[in-house]
Copies of this chain bind each other. A is one copy, B any other.
């Protein structure tokens, strides 16, 4: 089994893509260390409660997590209905704080996988704001940052994912002397408990995407790609954003390059 004797930390383990990822990891022999704001015992060997909107809770989590994990899968995230401040706090600042706080405790050759989104496809057009966000670490300053950079609720989700894709890319080699690599997976619309929240905020865009696609994705479609990037099978993949969206990202790339 691919994950025998491996300990994998999974945030967002209680539902959707996170729960499915834990299930697959267990099947492959992993010891799963689950993190969520909602308690669960399903597909999890050890559970840690955390509130990723609260830096005190994140720091306590970092302290509590076991040493020597072979993977850190950052799957937890909030939808645009959470509001701009919470979206950036959880989807970007918390993810970075947890990852940077854990990396010293990870085993050599560990894999870090971040769940980004098709919504982050426009990162090359947002470099100045993304660069400004790279020094944003204080959770209390997120509101002011959003105001300064015109990031409203509807924009916040895409921005959090653009910044995450960019951060993953920039850290392609940060820990390579220890064999630790980081990649991300970008799902398109997925049938999870938060799909209705995306439709509520992004509305037309999501509904049009789902018409162009033959169907929305499911956690069954996405979790195996996360597991691949967590496994030794992806050892030569570093800093990459893997589109896992039924072809939507490539559809957009074709449209942008006059290739339809």
**Residues of chain A having any CB pair with chain B under 8 Å:** 124, 127, 131, 166, 169-170, 172-173, 176, 181, 214, 217, 221-222, 224-225, 227-228, 232-240, 242-247, 249-251, 253-254, 257-259
User: In the complex, what distance in Å separates the CA atom of A247 from the CA atom of B181?
Assistant: 9
Give 24 pairs: A residue, B residue, CB < 8 Å, sorted on A.
A166-B259, A169-B254, A169-B259, A170-B254, A170-B259, A173-B247, A173-B251, A176-B214, A176-B247, A181-B247, A224-B232, A224-B233, A224-B235, A225-B233, A225-B234, A225-B236, A225-B237, A227-B233, A238-B247, A238-B250, A239-B251, A240-B247, A240-B250, A242-B242
Copies of the polypeptide in the assembly: 2
**Is the Cβ of A127 less than 8 Å from the Cβ of B244?**
no
- Tell me which residues across on chain B come within 8 A of A173, comparing CB atoms: 247, 251
Task: Assess A244 versus B236: contact at CB under 8 Å? Given A228-B228, A257-B124.
Answer: yes
> Which residues of chain B are near A214, meaning CB under 8 Å?
176
A27 to chain B, nearest CB (A): 12
Minimum CB distance partner of A212 in chain B: B173
Which residues of chain B have C-beta atoms less than 8 A from A235's C-beta? 221, 224
CA distance A214 to B175 in the complex (A): 12
CA distance A172 to B212 in the complex (A): 12
Q: Which residue of B lies closest to A240 (CB)?
A: B243
Cα of A161 to Cα of B254 in the assembled complex, Å: 16
A111 to chain B, nearest CB (A): 13
Contact of A228 among B131, B170, B233, B257 (CB under 8 A): B233
Nearest-CB residue, chain B, relative to A233: B224
User: Which chain B residue shows the least CB distance to A223?
Assistant: B233
